[in-house]
């Protein structure tokens, strides 16, 4: 089983269309972000990007590239992320994070919720003299 993490905490997976077919796509962390725009068609409603290790941040780059390229569908980070990476995942463009039950037991919901206010804890905005949450 897996646990889905949103800004509201742990919750069930609400994706009901399945991961096979043209509506969903699983991408490994070594996917070339430059070639994604050509592969992602409008009918792809959900993209899961794998994080094989919490030390592998390539998924953040892939998500950011997809959003900057105009992808409006659902982006999910899946795999070995830790609570400290939640704010970065959200700022990169992910809608939610999917982790294993084992990881959820080691990093309970309160650790993820401590990072759920990711918009107010934006280091770059503070350095520029503003906060995206104040806008």
Q: Per-residue pLDDT for 5 more than 70?
A: yes
**Which residue, among 112, 94, 93, has the nearest Cα to 103 in the 3D structure?**
112
Residue of higher predicted confidence among 124 and 60: 60
Per-residue pLDDT reduced to its tens digit, 77-117: 999 999 999 999 999 999 999 999 999 999 999 999 988 87
Residue of higher predicted confidence among 123 and 14: 14
Instruction: Find out whether 69 and 37 touch, Cβ atoms under 8 Å.
Output: yes
In this predicted structure, what is the pLDDT of residue 58? Answer: 94
Rounded CA gap, 77 and 94, in Å?
Answer: 6
Q: pLDDT by residue (tens digit) across 10-62?
A: 998 888 776 666 788 889 999 887 777 666 766 788 999 999 998 999 999 99
Rounded to a whole number of angstroms, the distance between the first and last alpha carbons of the chain is 38
Q: pLDDT value at position 125?
A: 59
CA 3 to the chain's CA centroid: 13
Residue pair 17/48 in contact by the 8 Å Cβ criterion: no
Which pLDDT does position 13 carry in this prediction?
A: 85
Give per-residue pLDDT as tens, 22-33. 788 889 999 887
- Exposure string over 102-120, b if 16+ CB within 10 A, otherwise e: ebbeebebeebbebbebbe
Q: So what's the pLDDT on residue 14?
A: 81
Q: Domains plus CATH for the chain?
A: 2-127 (3.20.20.70)
The pLDDT of residue 123 is 59
Q: What's the residue count for the chain? A: 135
For 18, 61, 62, the CA distances from 44, given in Å and listed in that order, are: 12, 19, 15
The pLDDT value given to residue 47: 92
């Amino acid at each position: 089983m897996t646990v889905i993490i949103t800004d509201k905490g742990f919750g069930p997976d609400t994706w009901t269309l399945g991961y096979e077919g043209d509506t969903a796509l699983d991408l490994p962390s070594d996917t070339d972000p430059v070639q994604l725009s050509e592969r992602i068609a409008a009918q792809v409603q959900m993209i899961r990007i794998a994080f094989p290790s919490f030390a592998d941040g390539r998924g953040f780059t892939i998500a950011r590239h997809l959003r900057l390229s105009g992808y409006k569908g659902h982006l999910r980070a899946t795999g070995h992320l830790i609570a400290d990476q939640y704010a970065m995942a959200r700022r990169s463009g992910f809608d939610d994070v999917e982790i294993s039950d084992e990881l959820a037991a080691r990093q309970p919901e309160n650790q993820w919720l401590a990072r759920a206010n990711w918009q107010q804890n934006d280091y770059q905005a503070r350095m520029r003299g503003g906060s995206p949450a104040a806008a």
